[in-house]
Amino acid sequence: MADLFDQTAGTANQTPGKPLADRLRPTRLADVVGQEHLTGPDGTLTRMINSGSLGSLIFWGPPGTGKTTVARLLANETSLAFEQISAIFSGVADLKKVFDAARLRRQQGRQTLLFVDEIHRFNRAQQDSFLPVMEDGTVVLIGATTENPSFELNAALLSRARVLNFKPHDAESLEKLLQRAEKEEGKALPLTEEARGVLIRMADGDGRAVLTLAEEVWRAARPGETFDAETLQKIVQRRAPIYDKSQDGHYNLISALHKSVRGSDPDAALYYLCRMFDAGEDPLYIGRRLVRMAVEDIGLADPQALVIANAAKDAYDYLGSPEGELALAQACVYLATAPKSNAVYTAFKAAMRSAKEHGSLLPPKHILNAPTKLMKETGYGEGYQYDHDMPDAFSGQDYFPEAMGRQTYYNPPERGFEREIRKRLDYWARLRRERSGRG
């Protein structure tokens, strides 16, 4: 993952045939691009080095943000021996060899910085094997992962290492890398201004990718030729978005979609919906999530929301892609523009808590059926008032267990259709008080 580059690195890395990204590796931590919160003058790693104390770390971030490069530079700047393994290709035997070598090195007075790429791919037992050598100082562990450490790494390992977040490159830092590449190559990229912006977007925050794309452009361009945006896309093809349907990219986008709908922003909701379509997400999964949004964030403020979300899911199931995606987009806009209420959702959670807390309380006897003589004699059904026979079809009786007393869970807001429900509940509450007063 070489991807953050020193302006002068090219002059020190002139190996013929070496990829541009490798030729532009930085040689000092201060020359790293795009991670100034870690490597800048006041960055976390800079402060660690200046203090003379480097503890075990987890580097968390997307590909092409410099995790491997920074680990190597840390070893250089702290005079630690550098060992690198990949969890994809290594097993227990490989770990044992590395640990044994680190112990021998420590006996000779030198500590080891062990860099483990894709550390999340080690299973729980393998992750636990790092704990003893971390605790006794045999190694300073730096693990690199593209996945959320909270989900993928043992709690014991996380408690012994500090997690540092590597950010995707923004357009400014990718442009800086392109400028360094042009200086290294001694020529400008043969791209229009628009095409240059497209190339940066294609890199999707990945420093190595932007340099690889730049190399492809230089290889493809004939003397005097300049590519516009359309030609660029034909030459290099479009790089697929970074999106793993079972990991962070998936959860980040569905979270963004859900919150945009909840926040009544149809434009943002459509953007994230299309991001997920473009990344290859299963549209039926999106359809199911739209149904959830309808019941969780809209509820009875607009009873049609659930109907429309279900209909859109069924329409996609019937039509398939790409026609069915428009039905999901229509539902997405409807939900985003519908009045919002989580009153039923909140009421359900409160009622569920009561059900768990109060145990198996018997309902009041007046609402229990009495199919046997014995049950009638013990009071089952006694005093029950049939609501349809009462004025306003409302008896106002209490239906909660006597040991609980009456509870209120559902509190509809003055929005959408729930404004009408609020009126009904207030009306019945007034009748209940009047009839209770007469009694």
CB 268: neighbour CB atoms within 10 A? 16
pLDDT tens sequence across 325-346? 999 999 999 999 999 999 999 9
More confident residue, 144 or 202: 144
Two structure tokens written together for 332: 């997405």
pLDDT tens sequence across 277-330? 887 788 998 999 999 999 999 999 999 999 999 999 999 989 988 889 999 999
Sequence-separated (6 or more) residues with CB below 8 Å from residue 257: 269, 272, 273, 276, 286, 289, 332
pTM across the whole model? 0.63
CB burial readout 407-417, b (16+ within 10 A) else e: eeebebbebbb
Torsion of Cα atoms, 211 then 216 then 221 then 222, to 10°: 120
pLDDT at 207 over 60: yes
Q: Is 132 in contact with 100 (CB distance < 8 Å)?
A: no
Q: What is the pLDDT of residue 271?
A: 94
3-state secondary structure of 397: coil
pLDDT tens sequence across 85-96? 999 888 888 899
pLDDT tens sequence across 26-74? 888 888 999 999 999 999 999 999 888 889 999 998 888 999 999 999 9
Cα–Cα distance for residue pair 163/144, rounded to 1 Å: 10
pLDDT tens sequence across 385-395? 898 998 989 98
Give the strand pairing for 57-60 and 112-117. Answer: unpaired
Q: What is the pLDDT of residue 237?
A: 75
Two structure tokens written together for 151: 């989900």
Q: Which residue has the tokens 């393994």?
A: 85
pLDDT at 15 over 80: no
pLDDT interval class at 6 (50, 70, 90): very low
More confident residue, 381 or 243: 381
Domains in the chain, please, with CATH?
A: 35-165 (3.40.50.300), 248-337 (1.20.272.10), 360-438 (1.10.3710)
Percent of the chain with pLDDT over 70: 93
Q: What is the pLDDT of residue 243?
A: 57
Quick one: how far is CA 298 from the chain centroid? 23
Cα–Cα distance for residue pair 269/290, rounded to 1 Å: 11
Two structure tokens written together for 147: 């996945």
